[in-house]
């Protein structure tokens, strides 16, 4: 079965009263006027210059400024005093703002009042989700921008680490977002065959293995950069090495929990957000694996749509975790377009690689 993007049906906005959107100046840097409009994950239209204009780039919980007659998304912290900010809380067109919250809805008809297993859990059947994901990734490799958000559990297992490196090598990863731990333990595995001192295949505890991740960080600092360490130590296995060999952006955001951190980890939270946001502006499919807070952060900056060559298309978002709480938390934070998959992420990555890399 060949994957095809669903067509976006633009709402009949011409039937709405032509009420121009209102703006007010930002009172100071980093602050919006009263009653500012906050963006959602959905396509949004603004009546400007006697026509409805689609917000081309969006993300949740931002404001909209008008520049040269066009609506533009801005984080609150980037506002400058005097910029014209869209105001109005109605989203039905009555204030010149229309939010298409039913974009790409695929209803299955009326539902009975009572149903078993209406939520997603460990007992949910995911076979169809995997088949759809195989088709989606095959399409997106050549036509989209696939962003992965990885927790360190992906490199704690030998097979999963190798599978993720294979997916990078054959083009199914266009950017990788992670924290210090993912890169640290991947390099630890390359140098010592362990993750947090435990053998990544046999799970045997290495003598003084609790030093290994610190030794990996120390070796990288002495080398001057992750890239130089990989070159000097001739590291050819693992996720970090695969990203370097195949020119895949590896964006590492720092945390207060970090050891080290490794050179190249972005310690400034807002600088990290800006760097991640640059990738999310291109993202068409996102997969967040075993990293609840990082995935929520990415979910908050991911709209439900992208405008590619004038066409509105959906952005697909998968959250994969062994914990139902973690996958449901993402939906609770407003990322309603997410597809939760409750499973062991090591098994998930290996299944994908076996199907897509054969």
Same domain (yes/no): 196, 322:
yes
User: Does residue 111 lie in a domain region?
Assistant: no
- The end-to-end CA distance of the chain, in Å, is 18
Q: 111 falls in which pLDDT band (50, 70, 90)? A: very low
Is the residue at 120 inside a domain? no
Looking at the fold, whether 198 and 235 belong to one and the same domain comes out as: yes
Handedness of CA 320, 321, 322, 325 (dihedral sign): negative
User: What is the reported pLDDT for 63?
Assistant: 97
Q: What is the mean pLDDT of residues 128-155?
A: 96
166 with 249, same domain: the answer is yes
What pLDDT score was predicted for residue 335? 53
Residue 115 in any domain: the answer is no
Kindly state the average pLDDT of the residues 154-172. Answer: 98
User: Measured in whole angstroms, how far is the alpha carbon of residue 212 from the centre of its chain?
Assistant: 30
Question: What secondary structure letter does DSSP report for 182?
Answer: H
- d(CA 279, CA 23) in angstroms, rounded, equals 29
From residue 147, how far is each of 95, 155, 218 by CA, in Å?
36, 17, 29
**260-264, 308-312, 324-328, 354-358: least confident range:** 324-328
Residues 253 and 311 in one domain: yes
Q: Same domain, yes or no, for 85 and 229?
A: no
Residues 256 and 342 in one domain: yes
pLDDT in tens, 20-58: 999 999 999 999 999 999 999 999 999 999 999 999 988
Residue 75 structural domain: 13-99
Tell me the C-alpha distance between 312 and 231, whole Å.
42
pLDDT of residue 330: 72
Q: 197 and 69 in one domain?
A: no
Same domain, residue pair 189 and 279: yes
Strands 175-179 and 250-253: parallel
Same domain? For 152 and 238 the reply is yes
Of 83, 99, 115, which closes a domain?
99
358 Cβ neighbours under 8 A, 6+ residues apart:
none
Taking the CB of residue 114, how many other CB atoms lie within 10 A of it? 6
Number of domains within the chain: 2
Cα distance between residue 201 and residue 189, in whole Å:
10
Distance of CA 235 to the CA centre of its chain: 28
**CATH code, domain carrying 221:** 3.40.50.10690
Are the C-beta atoms of 95 and 22 separated by less than 8 Å?
A: yes
Assigned domain for 304 exists: yes
Residue 201, token pair as written in the block = 């295949």
Domain stops at, among 82, 99, 116: 99
Instruction: Select from 63, 83, 99 the last residue of a domain.
Output: 99
pLDDT at position 126: 84
pLDDT single digits (tens) 246-299: 999 999 999 999 999 999 999 999 999 999 999 999 999 999 999 999 999 999
Q: Which residue has the higher pLDDT, 121 or 75?
A: 75
Rounded CA separation 78/31 (Å): 9
Element (H, E) at 21: none
- Per-residue pLDDT, averaged over 87-113, amounts to 80
C-alpha span between 173 and 229 (Å, rounded):
22
Reported confidence tier of residue 327, pLDDT bands at 50, 70, 90: confident
Q: What is the pLDDT of residue 104?
A: 83
Let me know whether 131 and 87 are in one domain.
Answer: no
Cis omega (within 30 of 0) for bond into 121: no
* Interstrand relation of 70-74 and 146-150 (parallel, antiparallel or unpaired): unpaired
How far apart CA 307 and CA 3 sit, in angstroms, is 19
How much of the chain, in percent, has pLDDT values that exceed 90? 84
Residue 116 has what pLDDT? Answer: 47
For residues 50 and 133, state if they share a domain.
no
- Structure tokens belonging to residue 231: 């070159």
Confidence of residue 108 (pLDDT cuts 50, 70, 90): very low
Give the model's pLDDT for residue 307: 94
- Is-contact 318 286, C-beta < 8 A? yes
Does the pLDDT value for residue 107 go beyond 60? no
Per-residue burial over 147-186, b if 16 or more Cβ lie within 10 Å, else e, is bbbbbbbbbbbbebbbbbbbbbbeebbbbbbbbbbbbbbb
Whether residue 59 is contained in a domain is answered as yes
Averaged pLDDT score across all residues of the chain: 92
pLDDT of residue 159: 98
Q: Are residues 199 and 136 in the same domain?
A: yes
Per-residue confidence at 110, pLDDT binned at 50, 70, 90? very low
pLDDT recorded at residue 112? 45
- What is the CATH number for 79? 2.40.420.10
């Amino acid at each position: 079965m060949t994957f095809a993007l669903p067509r976006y049906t633009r709402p009949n906005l011409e039937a709405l009263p032509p009420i121009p959107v209102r703006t007010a100046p930002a009172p100071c840097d980093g602050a919006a006027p009263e009653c500012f409009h906050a963006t959602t994950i959905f396509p949004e239209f603004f009546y400007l210059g006697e026509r409805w204009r689609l917000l081309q780039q969006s993300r949740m919980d931002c404001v909209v400024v008008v520049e040269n007659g066009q609506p533009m998304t801005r984080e609150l912290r980037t506002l400058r005093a005097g910029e014209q900010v869209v105001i109005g809380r109605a989203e039905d067109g009555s204030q010149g703002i229309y939010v298409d919250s039913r974009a790409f809805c695929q209803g299955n008809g009326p539902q009975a009042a009572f149903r078993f297993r209406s939520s997603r859990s460990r007992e949910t059947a995911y076979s169809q989700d995997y088949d759809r994901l195989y088709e989606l990734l095959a399409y997106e490799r050549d036509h989209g921008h696939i962003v992965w958000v990885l927790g360190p559990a992906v490199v704690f297992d030998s097979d999963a680490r190798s599978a993720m490196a294979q997916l990078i090598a054959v083009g199914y990863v266009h950017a990788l977002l992670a924290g210090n731990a993912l890169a640290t333990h991947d390099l630890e595995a390359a140098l010592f065959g362990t993750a947090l001192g435990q053998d990544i295949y046999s799970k045997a505890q290495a003598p003084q293995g609790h030093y290994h991740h610190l030794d990996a960080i120390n070796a990288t600092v002495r080398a001057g950069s992750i890239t130089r360490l990989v070159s000097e130590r001739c590291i050819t296995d693992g996720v970090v090495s695969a990203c370097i060999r195949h020119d895949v952006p590896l964006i590492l955001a720092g945390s207060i929990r970090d050891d080290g951190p490794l050179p190249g980890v972005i310690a400034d939270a807002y600088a990290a957000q800006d760097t991640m946001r640059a990738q999310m502006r291109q993202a068409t499919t996102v997969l967040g694996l075993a990293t609840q807070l990082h995935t929520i952060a990415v979910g908050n900056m991911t709209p439900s749509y992208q405008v590619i060559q004038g066409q509105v298309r959906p952005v697909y978002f998968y959250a994969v975790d062994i914990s139902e709480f973690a996958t449901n938390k993402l939906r609770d934070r407003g990322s309603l377009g997410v597809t939760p998959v409750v499973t062991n992420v090591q098994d998930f990555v290996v299944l994908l690689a076996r199907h897509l890399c054969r």
